[in-house]
Copies of this chain bind each other. A is one copy, B any other.
Amino acid sequence: MSLHNPALRDRACLIVHGPDQPGIVAAVAALVTRNRGNIVSLDQYSSDPVEGDFFQRVVFHRPDLVAATAEIEADLAQTLGPFGLEWTLTDQSVPKRMAILASKSDHCLLDLLWRHRRGELPVTVPMVISNHTNTAEDVRTFGVPFFHVPSQPGPDKSESEAQILKLLEGNVDFVVLARYMQVISGDFLERVGVPVINIHHSFLPAFIGAGPYRKAKERGVKLIGATAHYVTEDLDEGPIIEQDVVRVTHVDTAEELQRRGADVERAVLSRAVAWHAEDRVIRQGNHTIVF
């Protein structure tokens, strides 16, 4: 099937996390070996060797992976159960399905679509949803379906969110807010059932509320940045995946700060999306482990 990446055929990614204790690494490695897997890469992190949290990402090659998956999963359940560990096993040849929500700004949206076309992102893009129509033609040029869901006036967004949820339902593995300028409700987050990644500008110090670039200009900041994070009910406060900054000076106008900010935003978001798509990011409490 064309959506599968033949270069990654028979590659599995195993994520394990839970309370740290002696013997986990040995148990997991032995499991991979007895299931005829050959470890391609392995990352491991423990927040504290004594009573800490354990995180592991193992990529292994296993001939006829699809046929063996059920058997491996049974072995995982039996092996990791006694340790009280959680695990997920994914087939790396199956790209994740990524929906993009956008508004008028196109810099993050187009960068994602272009990187996807270049083969830099191991995803498929079943749809772009926007509350504006200005990017429709560009999106369709990339061969991606575009859906217009106008933003609902007033604080109640339930109807437009319901339309979006209906489009997404069953069709996507994660959602990217590519400068989507509508507030997402807690109810939406609960019902969407897949991870949602957001990008927003970041400053040192932070500037709350409207007109952040104007405030940054007034305060004379020397760096502006961007943060990509998983969306939680605390807007702009979820676990951080990636951040970066760029230098600015007093000569830069608020408009130029915003332009420079756009460059950082698209770079940071594309890295965060790639890492999520490759199962490199593990959420733990309000932070992430990025392998």
A residues whose Cβ falls under 8 Å from a Cβ of B = 21-30, 32-33, 37-46, 49, 61, 106-107, 110, 114, 118, 120, 138, 141, 202-206, 217-223, 225, 227, 239-240, 242-245, 249-251, 259, 263, 267, 285-290
Contacts and interface: CB of A to CB of B under 8 A. Distances in A.
Nearest to A285: B218
B25 A39 contact: yes
Contacts of A23: 33
Contact of A205 (B202, B217, B250): B202
Contacts of A217: 287
B204 A286 contact: no
Contacts of A37: 22
A43 B28 CA distance: 15
B222 A240 contact: yes
A234 B279 CA distance: 42
Chain copies in the assembly? 4
B259 A240 contact: no
26 contacts: A22-B37, A22-B38, A25-B32, A26-B29, A29-B29, A38-B49, A39-B44, A40-B46, A42-B42, A43-B44, A49-B61, A106-B118, A110-B114, A138-B141, A202-B205, A204-B225, A204-B245, A205-B206, A218-B285, A219-B286, A220-B240, A220-B286, A221-B240, A222-B243, A223-B244, A245-B245
Given A30-B26, A220-B287, A44 B41 contact: yes
Main secondary structure, interface of A, reads mixed
Contacts of A44: 39, 41-43
B25 A29 contact: yes
Contacts of A28: 29
Task: Return the 5 tightest CB-CB contacts between A and B, nearest first.
Answer: A220-B287, A26-B29, A202-B204, A22-B38, A222-B243
Given A38-B22, A205-B202, A219-B286, A45 B251 contact: yes
Contact of A40 (B42, B49, B205, B285): B49
Contacts of A225: 204, 223, 245
A263 B259 contact: no
Contacts of A227: 204-205
Contact of A287 (B218, B223, B259): B218
A84 to B, nearest CB: 16
Given A44-B41, A204-B206, A243 B267 contact: no
A39 B46 CA distance: 9
Contacts of A206: 204-206
A21 to B, nearest CB: 8
Contact of A263 (B40, B49, B267): B267
A272 B113 CA distance: 25
Contacts of A141: 138, 141
